[in-house]
Structure 1
Amino acid sequence: MKIILLTGGLYSIPVIHYLSAQKLLHSIVSPGKANKNNIPIELNAQHLNIPFKRFLKEELNIGFKDWLTEAQVDAVFVFGCPYKISPTLTALPKFGFFNIHFSLLPAYRGKSPVFWQIKNGAQTGGITIHQVTENYDDGPMLMQHEISIAQGESLGLYTNRLAMESVQVISKGIEKLNTTGNDLLFPQNENNASYFAAPVIDDLKIDWETQSANEIENLVNATNPDYGGAVTQFRGLPFRILEVNLVQVNNPSTFIPGSIVHSDVNYGVIVACKETQFLRLNVVQFTEGIFSGFKLAALGIAAGEHFENAANLSGLTINS
């Protein structure tokens, strides 16, 4: 089988190395302008001596079409493409285009499915390989593989596990295509469908009064590292939290959610949440840099101070 990999994401690199080692990879195509995610893909292609092409959005239906026509590949696997792919392109390979999506479709259709799964406290996710159709994430499925989400696992850690597991899932998918072609693709169950748009800055904000300690921990994990941490406000300024864990407090009193109830260099910074639950801040980021909770205490953040909801903060961006 001869394959083109259409990818703009770092998490496709294990698959690149696998397909190259198996002599299946005709070329790698990256959509859009050069950026921090796709430049390493280009460098890996150079290292493996795999042809690499970059097409801007407006070039996909011309330049990429010509590239596909000349290549005469059996399939295109898509691993992170922000643009809708036209039927003119998907009809060119023998078996079509197949998208690798990090959820158990049809649940969590849309962009950033891992963010939403972790934020929502899902205990199970997975990998779906489905045929690309005119609508996002709704084509018949080639393969689906369930993968549990560990307690406290961040977006980065879980996505890296998915990337490594993708190698075996794609390997089995290729074997299935070689054996049965598209005859055994199976439909998605629309009764289980859900869709989530790409996160916006408000989705990253902590609401100390309404969110439980578990919900805040899930949000923090969902934002690490791609979104730079969950957003709160401290001393009137934006404050990002990258790692927390639930802790027990002896003889707990009732505190206003967001209150710092303990701060020292031995136990770090502990914050009250609603329903008499408490979180220890393990890793944070603010104007001066990224710090451990223990360093935060040494910097003078003291018990009795208060984190505030970030609802009124303006000027923040998703990548800040």
Structure 2
Amino acid sequence: MRLVFCGTPQFAVPVLEAVLDANHEVALVITQPDRPVGRDQKLQAPPVKLTALAHSIPVVQPEKIKTNAELRAQLEVLAPDAILVVAYGRIIPQWMLDLPRFGNINLHGSLLPKYRGAAPIQWAVASGETVTGVTTMRLDAGLDTGPMLLAQVVPIGEEETAPDVYENLAEVGAPLMVETLCRLEAGDLYPTAQDDALATHAPVLTREDGAIDFNRTAKQIYDRWRGFQPWPGAFARLRGKKLIAHRLHPVRHAQSIEPGIVHLHEGRLFVGCGESTVVELDEVQLEGKRRMSAAELLRGYQMNSGERLGE
């Protein structure tokens, strides 16, 4: 097929490479503009752009696409059979949806209709799911509401974080996209409508999502910590200062501790959670300080059993 590929982060790279390996022609790559990163705010190119340039594929990085007459004219001339959309980060306008004969084919990082939205991998892990997956679908004007094509289930390990699952799904999604294109071309793949009654939402993460609510159970807090790596992470407040929990885990504890109340024992930092559960903070970072083990924090910072950690 003659294709246009829309994608931005590393998640999309294996799909682009797999499509090229399958001898499809990628006539153009559309990706987000280079963005400043780090303390020095140096411009950094998206991973998809770097991959495209390595394969000598033309790249465009429009700030806007809905009313972009130049981009529209360029795509109309290219006349692609399909437009592939993988973690591009922009809403696809109707004129792009209508352009190719096979439509706009999206790889979504969940088993639709669950976790529609911008952060499906993070919310699946944060919600304690034991399985997730990837779905290829034909985009329509809604938010991840289009008809499904193929899906692949992927287990989530008990200790896996969002970046671990992200990597797994990217590798599984690449051959699934290739199979989707092959079967569309062969005419033996029939779209299946999503059941909206089963839909759940995976909204954009905010900094506040990282605030630990100790009224949740220890398992729920741990799952949210796994899902919200590397950002927004998990944090609480100790005497008005932000305390980041870089590593934590649920534990069995001999005594019941009120939610949010600290219990110190032999250099270990336990905190009470909902339903009489307990979480241990293993590695922390107090506002203005370096990252350290809980034992190091307790040696250098006079904490006492009975203190309260808050949001």
TM-score (norm 2): 0.87
Where does 1:20-99 land on structure 2 (aligned, <5 Å)?
20-24=20-24, 25-32=26-33, 34=35, 39-58=46-65, 61-99=68-106
1:205 counterpart residue number: 211
Where does 1:103-142 land on structure 2 (aligned, <5 Å)?
103-142=110-149
Task: Supply the AA of the counterpart residue of 1:236.
Answer: G
Equivalent in 150, 156, 159 of residue 152 of structure 1: 159
CA distance in 1, matches of 2:309, 2:208: 14
2:256 counterpart residue number: 254
Equivalent in 226, 232, 238 of residue 228 of structure 1: 232
CA distance in 1, matches of 2:300, 2:23: 55
1:290 counterpart residue number: 291
Does residue 188 (structure 1) correspond to residue 194 (structure 2)? The answer is yes
1:16 counterpart residue number: 16
Higher mean C-alpha displacement, 136-145 vs 12-21: 12-21
Task: Supply the AA of the counterpart residue of 2:269.
Answer: V
What is the deviation of 1:15? 1.6
CA contact (8 A) 2:130 2:157 kept: yes
Distance 1:110 1:235, change over 3 A: same
CA distance in 2, matches of 1:22, 1:35: 34
Deviation string, structure 1 residues 208-265 (Cα, Å, up to 9, x no partner):
1x2110111011111111x23112112311222233222233xx22323233323656
What is the deviation of 1:38? 5.2
SS class of match (1:116):
helix
CA distance in 1, matches of 2:167, 2:302: 34
Report sequence identity in percent: 22
TM-score (norm 1): 0.85
Higher mean C-alpha displacement, 195-204 vs 297-306: 297-306
1:315 counterpart residue number: none
Distance 1:90 1:35, change over 3 A: farther
CA distance in 1, matches of 2:109, 2:45: 19
What is the deviation of 1:302? 4.1
Deviation string, structure 1 residues 102-159 (Cα, Å, up to 9, x no partner):
1111111112112222222122211111111111111111111121222122111111
CA distance in 2, matches of 1:13, 1:147: 19
Structure 2 alignment gaps of length 5 or more: 38-43
Structure 1 alignment gaps of length 5 or more: 311-320
CA distance in 1, matches of 2:259, 2:144: 39
Give the RMSD, CA atoms, in angstroms.
Answer: 2.4
Distance 1:296 1:76, change over 3 A: farther
CA contact (8 A) 2:210 2:232 kept: no
Higher mean C-alpha displacement, 36-45 vs 73-82: 36-45
2:40 counterpart residue number: none
CA contact (8 A) 2:9 2:46 kept: no
Does residue 217 (structure 1) correspond to residue 222 (structure 2)? The answer is yes
CA contact (8 A) 1:30 1:38 kept: no
